[in-house]
Each structure stands twice: as structure tokens, then as C-alpha cells.
Amino acid sequence: MATTKHYVEHELAEYVAGLSNLVLHPQIEYAVLSEGKRLRPLLVILSAESVGGNRTRVTGLALAFELMHTATLVHDDIIDQDETRRNRLALHKKWSVNDAILTGDALIALSVHLASAYGQQVLQTVAQSALELCEGEKTDITFTLGTTTEESYFKRITQKSASLFKASTQCGALAGGGTLSEIQSLASFGENFGVAYQLKDDLLDLTNKGDFTFKDLKAGRITLPLIHSYKKCSAKEKERIDSLLQTPARQSLKTSRIVARNLFAILQRTRSFDYCERKIDEHLHQAVESISVLKDPQYESHLIEMARALKTWG
């Protein structure tokens, strides 16, 4: 796995270096070559190899997914008004909002150009996943706690977060020459992995922040632990949560640590963190089960390793 990630990093650097003639090259380089897990390109390569494909032949496709993902991060930082990304200034803070929008747009164009070399079906899958991602993002920023159900939450993250993961494994299998059953099983792996990934991210936002800043809540994003807690808590606790989610309260969460700790206590009492952990386990189990049809145990084990590693991220 580490070798494959190193390969992706090297190929990304080579590709970005070849864009030096672009006016936006400094911004593209800054966005793309920041630290990252490179999960989507890793999944493209592993999926292709697991059905008998060659990594060098799908490298361009792997890079396409990383560029598309990076574009969404650049645009998300603008939407959420985040000032940092991966422990350094967000692109729109280092340059400008206009530069960030254009950089994201350029990355999407570059991603489509790379994906187009792999045929119409792959290109359509990439485009569809990007559209689903936009739909999920729009829903994400307009949901309110009172109207959000667990079902609508899972639909949203399946669109927003899992769509690129699913497309990564599906397109990797397509480009690698997989059979229909292999393509479908890997698409299922990617989708379940993506859902589990978003659940883990939501959980960490509430449990792994020593300063109780709760980034998702500050941005007005409703996540599963909160949905579960709101359903289980008392009427008085519901009122307290509602007051926290009002705009003035949300803006002051960073400094109002007492208020944030009260919310944390409610989430603990309703065992909402445990509930989220169980849902992560369910989707990782489904992901692993879905690839039992793969014939090469080596690459199946690599994918299983990725699923198990997600569980320990923190």
C-alpha cells in the first residue's frame, strides 16, 4: 500500500510539473500537492489490478479522481468559509476567492480531460459522480436538524461523499477489463467504503477536537451523531440543541467551550457516538463482503486492509 501511495505521489508531481505553462499553475500545485491520503487514486489502481489490469495503464484515470476530489475541497473551503486546509492556509485565503473558484474549475476540466482517454462509459461515470456530489453538497448546506431524517442523511452522504469513491472503484475495474460482476462488486465496495469514510469524518469532528470547535456544526452541517441524539434526547435537551444551532450560537461555538461541552455531554448520554461507530462497522463489513468474488487474493487483501485502516483513523 505504501509503495502504491508513493507511486501516486510521484505521478501527481510529474503531472502538475507538466502544467507549468498555465497561469493558474502555482494555485494548482498548491492545492494538488498538499498532504493527502490519496484514497481515490489508490482505489482506482487497486481495483484495476484486482481484475487483471495494469497500474501504468490506469494512472491517468487515478490522477483524474484525485484532481476532481481536490477541486471539491477547494470549493468546499469557500462554501464553509474555512481558513485552513491540511494545516495550512486554504487556497482562497492564500490567494483570493476568485482564484480558488477558477482553480477548482481548472482541476475539474483537467480531470475530465484525463478521464476521457478511457472511453465513454468511464467518462460518463466520472461526470455522473461529480453531478451527484454537487447535489449532495447543495442538500448538505440546506438541511436543518428538525427536517433531517437518518434516511435523508445517508442519501446525502451517498451522493456527496461516496459518489467519488464508488466511481473510483467502478472505473478502475472498467479500465482494468473487469467482468460485469467484478465491476459491480468493486462499485459496491467503493460506495460502502465512502459512506463509512464520511461517518468516520463526522464522528472525528465531534470526538477528536480538544478545543471543542465542532467544525461541521459551525458550518451548519447536520451529521449522524446529532441526528441520532436529537431523536433520543429529552425535550429539554432538544431545546438546548436547537439554541446551539441558531446562527449566533453556531458562530460562537469556538469560544463558547462550555456550550460545546454541554452538547458533547448530550451526545455521550444518548450513546450517539457508539451508534455512529456501529454504522461504520456495518458499511465496512458490507464493503469487505462485496469483493468476495475477486479472484486475486493479493489485491482483495489490499482493499480489505484499506477498510480496516479506516476504522483506526483518528
Q: Each residue of 180-212: b (16+ CB within 10 Å) or e?
A: eebbebbbbbbbbbbbbbbbbbbbebbeeeeeb
Dihedral Cα 174, 178, 184, 188, nearest 10 deg: -80
pLDDT value, residue 312: 83
Q: Are 219 and 80 in contact (CB under 8 A)?
A: yes
Neighbours of 124 (CB within 10 A): 12
Q: Are 225 and 206 in contact (CB under 8 A)?
A: yes
Residue type, 109: A
Alpha carbons 170 and 176: distance in angstroms, whole number? 10
What is the dotted CATH code of the domain comprising 2-312? 1.10.600.10
Q: Which three cell numbers stand for residue 185?
A: 462488486
* DSSP H/E element including 53: none
Domain ranges of the chain: 2-312
- Residue 123 has φ and ψ, to the nearest 5°, of -60, -40
Alpha carbons 252 and 218: distance in angstroms, whole number? 8
Strands (E) across the chain are located at 84-85, 88-89
Q: What is the model's pTM? A: 0.92
pLDDT value, residue 29: 97
Q: Are 162 and 198 in contact (CB under 8 A)?
A: yes
pLDDT value, residue 239: 83
Per DSSP, helices labelled H in 208-256 are 215-218, 224-232, 235-244, 247-251
Q: Which of 62, 298, 288 is nearest to 196 (CA)?
A: 288
What is the rounded radius of gyration, in angstroms, for the C-alpha atoms of the chain? Answer: 20
Tens-binned pLDDT, residue by residue, of the chain (314 aa): 678 999 999 999 999 999 999 999 999 999 999 888 999 999 999 999 999 999 999 999 999 999 999 999 999 999 888 888 888 999 999 999 999 999 999 999 999 999 999 999 999 999 999 998 888 888 777 777 777 789 989 988 998 889 999 999 999 999 999 999 999 999 999 999 999 999 998 888 887 655 555 666 666 678 899 899 988 888 888 887 777 666 444 454 454 566 677 788 888 999 999 999 999 999 999 999 999 888 777 888 889 999 988 988 76
Q: Which of 49, 52, 34 is nearest to 4 (CA)?
A: 49
Q: Are 64 and 125 in contact (CB under 8 A)?
A: no
pLDDT value, residue 255: 45
Alpha carbons 44 and 292: distance in angstroms, whole number? 18
Q: Which three cell numbers stand for residue 161?
A: 461523499
Bridge partner residues of 89 (DSSP): 84
Per DSSP, helices labelled H in 33-96 are 39-50, 59-80, 91-94
Q: Which of 125, 111, 23 is nearest to 70 (CA)?
A: 111
pLDDT value, residue 209: 53
